[in-house]
């Protein structure tokens, strides 16, 4: 596509229409309340949440794209000044509230930008997503797929979110006398929190701004800012740290849970393991026993592998809002793009999805540029993990007074968030 027409999740000058896949901070960098460059297109839920993140934004510049319908835009080719029609469809990305992929078509061909996405292989929602995408594509061939390559490496294999959510429920249930804190971002993981609340018949504490977001999303009964009503608190990810947990444990026994597809566990905790081995382990052992009768439930396979004890107070559970490596592969097989590019990179690393999936696109011989990227992969991959760990860092310093104050009042919201 010619430059100067559209931008997706990029906010530099020079485009005639801008598209926002979702409201996570790493996709809105450069966007502000004073935006006046051009119209922005997004999903209905994103539009609803948008003024909360960008107060005083000129809402006449915000345009809603309903999911599953084609919309036409009339733009001008910068090179010739002639009119060009761009058709676009928003498709559920199953990532966080409001997150969509954008499918574009026009005389430039057909392009699909996934934004951040989770492409689960099983479940009703996954089935609907697949149908919507296939209906949209029909006989079109995707010329370029812009892909969420966050977990584009075979080492990233984690369970369905329902399975991970149940693991978290089990951890909470097996610590009946503990307070529980769960690290979340300013948007996302709502389904997880609802799962926990329903399974345990409890309310969940969130900080005041997060409660407003919950209300905007239509969740009015489950969440509270009253700490006396529940022992389970969802706290901002940036304030989730070893220091926080150690501070909280000076007041009351507290367990921290970090839901993420990222491998937080460089080295699993090697303590006494008694808490970890209690109800949680016995539950899965019981499942294993019953599976010997031939009633094997795939959902429980590898469950313990994806629950790690990071620290004596902290569990890491592989609950991810991004696609795992096998899900990315499944998605690419479905779309069959002619070419693709990853949309996630750090300053030192870019994992080219063509390296792993080029064969699906019929690219069998890596180009020299491609090989170069592969040669850098070893170092780059490590760098990426470092970056990810820094984003979700456990090194945030809090003194005890701050911890106590936050424990009572909640914490202030920070823009520094990752989107896992």
Q: Which residue, chain included where needed, has tokens 């329903």?
A: 198
**Binds Zn ion (CB under 5 A): choice among 9, 116, 120, 148:** 116
**Binds Zn ion (CB under 5 A): choice among 7, 186, 300, 419:** 419
Which uninterrupted H or E stretch holds 280?
helix 279-291
- Interaction of residue 148 with Zn ion, rule CB under 5 A: no
Listed residue (376, 241, 373) closest to 310, CA to CA: 241
Q: Which residue is nearest to Zn ion (CB)?
A: 419
Alpha-carbon span 148 to 22, nearest angstrom: 13
Number of residues that bind Zn ion (CB under 5 A): 3
Minimum CB distance to Zn ion smaller for 243 or for 419: 419
Q: How far is the CB of 156 from Zn ion (least distance, A)?
A: 16
Minimum CB distance to Zn ion smaller for 31 or for 86: 31
- In what order do the strands lie in the sheet containing 109-113? 70-76, 83-92, 100-106, 109-113, 144-147, 339-342
Which residues in the 5-34 window bind Zn ion by CB under 5 A?
24
Listed residue (102, 152, 93) closest to 344, CA to CA: 152
Q: How far is the CB of 45 from Zn ion (least distance, A)?
A: 14
Q: Which stretch binds Zn ion (CB under 5 A): 165-173, 276-284, 377-385, 411-419?
A: 411-419
- Residue 236: CA count within 13 A, CB half-sphere: 21
Site string for Zn ion, 308-337 (x = CB under 5 A): ------------------------------
Alpha-carbon span 9 to 30, nearest angstrom: 9
- Interaction of residue 114 with Zn ion, rule CB under 5 A: no
Q: Angle 400-409/242-249 helices, nearest 10 degrees?
A: 80
Minimum CB distance to Zn ion smaller for 244 or for 260: 260
Q: Angle 190-200/161-173 helices, nearest 10 degrees?
A: 50
Minimum CB distance to Zn ion smaller for 146 or for 313: 146
Listed residue (315, 78, 335) closest to 175, CA to CA: 315
Q: Which stretch binds Zn ion (CB under 5 A): 112-120, 121-129, 223-231, 335-343?
A: 112-120
Q: Which stretch binds Zn ion (CB under 5 A): 55-63, 114-122, 196-204, 396-404?
A: 114-122
Tell how far CA 380 is from the center of its chain: 21
**The token pair that represents 132 in the structure block:** 């919507």
Minimum CB distance to Zn ion smaller for 9 or for 179: 9
**Distance (Å) of CA 79 to CA 4, 50, 58:** 9, 33, 30
Minimum CB distance to Zn ion smaller for 353 or for 358: 353
**Contact in structure between 78 and 2 (CB atoms under 8 Å):** yes
Minimum CB distance to Zn ion smaller for 343 or for 398: 343
Site string for Zn ion, 265-304 (x = CB under 5 A): ----------------------------------------
* Chain residues that interact with Zn ion, rule: CB under 5 A: 24, 116, 419
């Amino acid at each position: 596509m010619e430059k100067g027409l559209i931008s997706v999740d990029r906010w530099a000058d020079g485009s005639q229409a801008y598209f926002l896949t979702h409201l996570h901070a790493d996709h809105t960098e450069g966007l502000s309340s004073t935006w006046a460059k051009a119209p922005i297109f997004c999903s209905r839920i994103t539009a609803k949440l948008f003024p909360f993140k960008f107060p005083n934004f000129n809402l006449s510049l915000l345009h809603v794209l309903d999911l599953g319908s084609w919309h036409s835009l009339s733009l001008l080719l910068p090179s010739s000044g002639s009119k060009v029609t761009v058709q676009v469809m928003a498709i559920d990305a199953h990532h966080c509230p409001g997150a969509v992929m954008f499918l574009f078509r026009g005389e430039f061909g057909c392009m699909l930008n996934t934004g951040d996405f989770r492409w689960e292989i099983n479940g009703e929602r996954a089935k609907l997503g697949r149908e919507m995408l296939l209906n949209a594509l029909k006989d079109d061939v995707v010329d370029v797929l812009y892909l969420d390559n966050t977990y584009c490496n075979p080492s990233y294999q984690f369970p369905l979110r329902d399975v991970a959510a149940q693991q978290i429920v089990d951890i909470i249930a097996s610590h009946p006398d503990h307070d529980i804190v769960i690290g979340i971002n300013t948007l996302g993981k709502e389904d997880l929190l609802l799962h926990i609340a329903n399974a345990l018949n409890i309310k969940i504490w969130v900080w005041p701004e997060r409660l407003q977001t919950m209300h905007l999303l239509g969740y009015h009964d489950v969440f509270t800012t009253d700490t006396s009503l529940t022992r389970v608190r969802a706290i901002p990810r940036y304030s989730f740290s070893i220091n926080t947990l150690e501070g909280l444990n000076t007041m009351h026994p507290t367990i921290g849970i970090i839901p993420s597809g990222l491998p937080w566990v460089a080295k699993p905790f090697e303590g006494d393991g008694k808490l970890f081995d209690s109800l949680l382990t016995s539950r899965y052992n019981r499942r294993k026993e019953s599976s010997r009768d031939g009633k094997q439930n795939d959902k429980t396979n590898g469950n313990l592998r994806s629950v790690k004890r990071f620290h004596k107070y902290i569990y890491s559970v592989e609950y991810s809002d991004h696609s795992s490596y096998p899900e990315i592969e499944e998605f690419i097989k479905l779309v069959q793009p002619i070419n693709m590019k990853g949309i996630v990179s750090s300053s030192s690393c870019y994992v080219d999805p063509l390296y792993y999936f080029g064969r699906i696109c019929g690219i069998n011989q890596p180009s020299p540029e491609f090989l170069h990227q592969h040669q850098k992969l070893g170092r780059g991959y490590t760098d990426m993990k470092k970056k990810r760990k820094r984003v979700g860092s456990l090194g945030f310093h809090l003194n005890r007074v701050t911890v106590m104050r936050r424990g009572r009042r909640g914490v202030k919201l920070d823009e520094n968030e990752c989107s896992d």
